[in-house]
């Protein structure tokens, strides 16, 4: 088996069947993934693999995606229609591969748009805070209210919805989609199609199924669940590949501008900033373009410093997160220790701190390895950062999966 496909399948089956919620079997699979990734991805050689076998591997991924199609809150009828369409598309892909025919790019976009809209229409109001606050934060901003000092619509019982923990670009990006369509998820659909288009341009291979490989970023397992819940990780990945495209084209100013936005959505992404420092700060003009989007941070900070700090920094403390998220359900090392031994709160604080130090140490080791490509460094840093954290959702590991698929796609002949 293609060694990259092996990594992909281990990660998929570690998080997809259980939606990233804790079981000992899922923790075992993620542990296996971490060990294999540490051994395989740290190998500086990037062997070019024949794409003919990998094409059938992609079809298997499609079949897994079709099996798990649907949003958690999506109505049964639209979910059934989606699965029928999805499996029909898998049959079409099988036929084209068997006949050795190229699958046109527009076919992937048509099917993706159909399934995306079906997901959104079939789940118009998912009971999840990410969707609610990403829909209402741009609305409040357009009304002259500070999103970092606002109360949002009630989602969970006994939890006051007065929190917006994302960084400013998450507001700015979704403004047009919320204004014209009333739903931020259309912005994620656009971002995912943008990822597909950019990766088509980044591929440098003559495979007859170039578009099939790129389509993994549209149809990865649970991609429509990601859309339903309005998770931001697909947007984060799109901004990364767009920045990489500008870098490949030697458009350094655009690269600096876009990669700056990459760090202005979710706080934990800042851990990979050292990978880009050299390129960003090589000229004054690129430094200026990188700093420019941070004006949004300055703007919201001075609007209400106390609220901004509380929402973006102190709001991520474990004791505060316990009020809004079921931390005991996450596949992370501190939770496994808790499940096995049920230590006291004071001991859990020590365990959480030690786990964070392990993640930091691993990140330093990876950052100092000059032989690794940037994408592989990001995979390892993000995975171990999440694995040893106190707070990692399905979408966190899904972002790792996207970078892993990126490594797989760009390694094909």
Q: What are phi and psi of 49, to 5 degrees?
A: -105, 145
Is 231 domain-assigned?
A: no
Instruction: Report if residue 235 sits inside a domain.
Output: no
Q: In which domain, by residue range, is 405 found?
A: 1-47+317-413
CB 277 within 8 A of CB 380: no
The end-to-end CA distance of the chain, in Å, is 16
Number of compact structural domains in the chain: 1
Residue 284 has pLDDT above 70, yes or no: yes
What pLDDT does residue 325 have? Answer: 53
The 8-class DSSP code of residue 166 comes to S
User: Whose CA is closest to 333, among 321, 325, 341?
Assistant: 341
Cβ-based neighbours of 167, under 8 Å, separated by 6 or more:
263, 264, 265, 266, 267, 297, 312
Structural domain contains residue 14 = yes
So what's the pLDDT on residue 330?
87
222-278 pLDDT, tens digit each: 999 999 999 999 999 999 999 999 999 999 999 999 999 999 999 999 999 999 999
Which pLDDT score is estimated for 174? 98
41 close to 376: Cβ distance less than 8 angstroms: yes
- Residue corresponding to tokens 């094909």: 412
The DSSP symbol for 412 reads B
Dist CA 361 CA 349 (whole Å):
18
Span 394-413, pLDDT tens digits:
999 999 999 999 999 988 65
Looking at residue 313, the DSSP 8-state letter turns out to be T
What pLDDT is recorded for position 412? 67
Buried b (16+ CB within 10 A) or exposed e, 264-280: bbbebbebbeebbeebb
Residue 272 resides in a domain: no
Alpha carbon distance 331, 72 (integer Å):
19
pLDDT given at position 208: 72
The helix/strand/coil state of 203 is coil
Q: Determine whether 323 is exposed, middle or buried from the number of CB atoms within 10 Å of its CB (0-12, 13-18, 19+).
A: exposed
Establish if 184 belongs to a structural domain: no
pLDDT at 411: 81
pLDDT of residue 298: 97
Q: Which residue has the tokens 């919201």?
A: 300
Axis crossing angle, helix 233-248 with helix 185-202, rounded to the nearest 10: 30
DSSP state of 19: T
The pLDDT assigned to 45 comes to: 61
With respect to residue 31, please indicate whether it lies within any of the assigned structural domains: yes
The answer to whether 370 and 306 are in contact (CB under 8 A) is no
Q: Does 269 map to a domain?
A: no
The mean pLDDT of 314-337, rounded to a whole number, is 68
Q: In the chain, what percentage of residues exceed pLDDT 90?
A: 81
Q: Is residue 328 a part of any domain in this protein?
A: yes
Q: What predicted TM-score, i.e. pTM, was given to this entire model?
A: 0.94
pLDDT class of 24 with cuts at 50, 70, 90:
very high
Comparing CA positions, the residue from 108, 93, 96, 64 lying closest to residue 218 is 108
């Amino acid at each position: 088996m293609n060694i990259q496909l092996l990594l992909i399948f281990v990660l998929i089956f570690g998080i997809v069947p259980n939606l990233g919620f804790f079981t000992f079997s899922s923790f075992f699979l993620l542990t296996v993934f971490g060990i294999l990734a540490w051994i395989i991805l740290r190998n500086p050689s990037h062997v070019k693999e024949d794409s003919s076998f990998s094409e059938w591997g992609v079809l298997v991924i499609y079949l897994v995606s079709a099996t798990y199609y649907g949003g958690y809150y999506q109505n049964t009828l639209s979910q059934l229609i989606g699965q029928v369409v999805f499996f029909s598309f898998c049959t079409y892909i099988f036929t084209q591969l068997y006949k050795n025919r190229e699958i046109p790019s527009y076919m992937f976009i048509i099917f993706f748009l159909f399934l995306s809209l079906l997901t959104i229409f079939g789940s118009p109001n998912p009971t999840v805070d990410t969707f609610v606050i990403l829909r209402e934060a741009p609305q409040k901003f357009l009304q002259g209210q500070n999103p970092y000092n606002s109360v949002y619509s009630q989602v969970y019982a006994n939890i006051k919805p007065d929190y917006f923990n994302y960084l400013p670009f998450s507001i700015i990006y979704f403004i047009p989609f919320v204004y014209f369509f009333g739903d931020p998820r259309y912005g994620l659909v656009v971002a995912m199609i943008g990822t597909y288009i950019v990766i088509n341009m980044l591929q440098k291979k003559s495979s007859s199924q170039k578009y099939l490989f790129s389509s993994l970023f549209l149809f990865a397992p649970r991609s429509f669940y990601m859309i339903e819940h309005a998770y931001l990780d697909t947007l984060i990945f799109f901004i990364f590949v767009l920045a990489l495209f500008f870098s490949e084209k030697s458009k350094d100013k655009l690269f600096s501008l876009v990669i700056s936005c990459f760090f202005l959505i979710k706080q934990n992404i800042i851990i990979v900033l050292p990978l880009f420092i050299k390129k960003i700060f090589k000229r004054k003009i690129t430094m200026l373009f990188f700093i420019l989007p941070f004006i949004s941070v300055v703007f919201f900070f001075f609007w209400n410093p106390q609220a901004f700090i509380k929402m973006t920094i102190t709001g991520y403390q474990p004791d505060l997160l316990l009020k809004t998220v079921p931390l005991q359900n996450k596949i992370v090392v501190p939770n496994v220790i808790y499940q096995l031994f049920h230590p006291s709160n004071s001991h859990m604080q020590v365990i959480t701190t030690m786990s964070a130090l392990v993640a930091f140490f691993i990140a330093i080791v990876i950052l100092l390895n000059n032989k690794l490509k940037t994408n592989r460094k990001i995979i390892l840093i993000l995975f171990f950062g999440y694995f040893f954290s106190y707070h990692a959702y399905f979408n966190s590991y899904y972002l790792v999966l996207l970078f892993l698929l990126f490594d797989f796609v760009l390694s094909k002949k």
